[in-house]
Each structure stands twice: as C-alpha cells, then as structure tokens.
Amino acid sequence: MPHDDDVTGRIHPVPTPAGRGGAERELRVEAVLAAPPDAVWRALTDLRRMPSWSPELVTMLRLRPGGLRAGQQYLCVNRRGPVLWPTRSVVRACRPCRELSWLTTSSGALWVWELAPAGEGTRVVHRRPVPEGTTWLSRAFAPLFLGGNEGHADELESGMARTLAGLRAAVDGPGRS
C-alpha cells in the first residue's frame, strides 16, 4: 500500500490494520501535498477531472439535480482494456476540506478521501474499505472480466496511487507527482 514519505515525496508501502484480507482488504495510499487544503478540495471535488487521474474511471455522471453533497448519486463508467462497465455511487460524506466519500453500491466499496492540514500543505489519505464485504455481483464480475478479485484489488491499489499522483500534479504542479 503506497504511502508518501514526507521527506522525499516518494510513495512507500504502509501496513493497514488487521482485518479482511485479499480482495476485501482496505486499500490505502497517502501523500503530503504542498497545496493548502482548500486548493486540494477544489481540485478533488471537480469530479470532471477525476477520469484524467484515474486509470479505470471513464466518467462520473450526476444522477440527481444539485451539486456535490451527501446523498448525491453518480453513474460511473469504468474501463479495463476492452471491458467497460457501469457502477452506481452514492456520496456518503462531503465535508469541505476534510472528507469526501462515496459508496459504490454494485461492489460494496467505500471510496474515501480524507484531507488534513500538514504544515503549509495537506495530508491526503485515499482509502477503499469494503465495510460489508464485496457484493455477489462484484465477486462474480471480477473473475470473469477483470482477472480475479484479488488481482483486481491489487490493480485498484496501484490505480489509487496514480490517482493521488494526478491530484498532486494538478495542485502542486507536474514536478511533484
């Protein structure tokens, strides 16, 4: 699980607490960005930018009127190679400059972004717990189309690191990614 070293800015593994293993383990990456929390929040919550950072996400389409808020729903389209699939996500938390999270109902994954001041910058933690375990749909889909549940979880974790690096480049400039 990649983790940012405050001194070098590089990503390093960080152990997560004991719990579920394999595909249902909590995935986690974190980094300290030079930008302040409000700048990071503005970039993070412009969900039109997320597909440019994420290797799997193609688009996030808002399903209800209004802006980003708890309860808002999104249709997300994902891609891995030739495989394209939709998911539905419901925003669980939208606390400015602190937390953004959404539950992907088709997989059972909770995608969490946590922000905290770190000196003049921002510590960003991006994690993916699966609080109730993966859904039957996810357990069936991943082996058939994504190379297996555990392998896909490994890909997701690597993709989370790339997404965080993209966010970092967007707010800190390309030299820090």
* 85 within domain boundaries: yes
* 170 within domain boundaries: yes
* 88 within domain boundaries: yes
**Greater confidence, 61 or 173?**
61
- pLDDT exceeds 70 at position 8: no
CATH number of the domain to which 66 belongs: 3.30.530.20
* 14 within domain boundaries: no
Residue 99, pLDDT score = 99
Residue 150, pLDDT score = 85
- pLDDT exceeds 80 at position 119: yes
- pLDDT exceeds 90 at position 9: no
* 83 within domain boundaries: yes
How many separate domains does the chain show? 1
Mean pLDDT of the chain: 89
> Do the Cβ atoms of 32 and 121 come closer than 8 Å?
yes
* 16 within domain boundaries: no
Strands (E) across 34-132 are located at 57-62, 73-80, 83-95, 99-104, 109-118, 121-128
User: Tokens 């389209």 sit at which residue?
Assistant: 77
- pLDDT exceeds 50 at position 7: no
Q: 131 falls in which pLDDT band (50, 70, 90)?
A: very high
Query: Which residue range(s) make up the domain with 156?
Result: 27-176
* 21 within domain boundaries: no
Strand, helix or coil for residue 56: coil
* 12 within domain boundaries: no
